[in-house]
Amino acid sequence: MSEPSPIASPPFASAAPLLRSRRLCFLLAALVIGLLPLLFTDSYWRTNLIVCAINVLLAIGLDFVLGYAGQLNLGQSAFYGIGAYASTLLATRLGVPFWIAFLFGTLCAGTAGALLSIFAVRLRGHYLAIASLGFAVITYQILMNWISLTQGPLGIYAILPPPALAFPGLPRIAFSDLANLFYLTAGMALIAYALLDQMVRSPIGETLTAIREDEVSAASLGIDAPKWKAFAFAMSSAVAGAAGCFYAPFVGTLVPDAFFITESFTILAMVIVGGMGTLIGPVFGAILLTLLPELLRSVGDLRLIVYGASVTLVVLFMPGGLVQAFRLLRQCLFPAHKRTRP
């Protein structure tokens, strides 16, 4: 008589602890976001916190197309600017409410990314980098020279913050307050991170990773690489556009120099320093490279040397970025116990 077969475990039983831990991490992140403005009460550091949240949006958006789809996009500053100008022009010239302008700016940036991908999906490596960089240069020149629309180097001024929110029985939430504006921007960054994190842990992430590793093998499995590259470009640029929609009302002025091509290289440095293809790494990379120049401001011009040397050392000796450093530190502090033979 054969032995009864063991009861099969539920298919998602092993994933349940991981799911709980991820929910705990998101709750912890929300708690940290809630406490930061209470710990940093002066306007200087609250301003830096908002810049960190905007840079986190830019970094995780770039990591989605670069770290997972393997597409070297150097045009992130262009999509950043498209979102900022599209939403601002709607709000200032047509009187469109902020949240409708926000959706339109995000959609415009995403559409621009999808259109760029039509011409760029067949390019690889440095050819794609040059093409995307050229797009960033063209976008900057349009913003600079289409004076009748963008005001060019004169800029757009007196951009109002997002309208206040009023809920029955609760105090009015005014986004002219830097703390509330940080909560709004950081909350949007957390939502964007959760959305991208869900994607990279789904079959979408596996598909993009397959394209990144070997596009020919992915095509042999029936994966439509151009379509998925276009999707990655569109998502990445839409997140950058959302960051631009928050940048304009935060600063209050809008000039093309804020979206010069050097911004693309800064965002790329955040992704590489944090840890490309990890999503959480670019978050810490964005925070570090935003705050490090401010922390080194007391040493004067020497801060630029320290900043550049820090980035160079990370790239040379820790190619996996901060995530690799954390993993090495964890292995040193909590080494795996060696199994002994019976």
Could you read off the pLDDT of 269-303 as tens digits, one per residue? Answer: 899 988 888 889 999 999 998 988 888 777 666 66
User: Residue 25's pLDDT is what?
Assistant: 85
Q: For all residues of the chain together, what is the average pLDDT?
A: 85
User: Residue 18's pLDDT is what?
Assistant: 57
Confidence at 181, pLDDT banded by 50, 70, 90: very high
CB atoms within 10 A of CB 337: 6
pLDDT for residue 83 is more than 90: yes
CB-CB contact of 168 with 251 (8 Å): no
Q: Where are the alpha helices (DSSP H) in 214-275?
A: 215-220, 225-251, 262-274
pLDDT for residue 45 is more than 60: yes
Planar angle of CA 141, 144, 147, nearest 5 degrees: 125
Mean pLDDT of 210-226: 85
**Alpha-carbon distance 29 to 56, whole Å?**
13
CB-CB contact of 29 with 56 (8 Å): no
pLDDT for residue 186 is more than 80: yes
User: Residue 20's pLDDT is what?
Assistant: 67
pLDDT for residue 65 is more than 60: yes
Planar angle of CA 17, 22, 27, nearest 5 degrees: 125
CB atoms within 10 A of CB 128: 21
**Tokens describing residue 253:** 């002025």
* 8 vs 78, higher pLDDT: 78
Q: Which range among 18-27, 36-45, 167-176, 230-239 shows the weakest confidence by mean pLDDT?
A: 18-27
Mean pLDDT of 91-103: 92
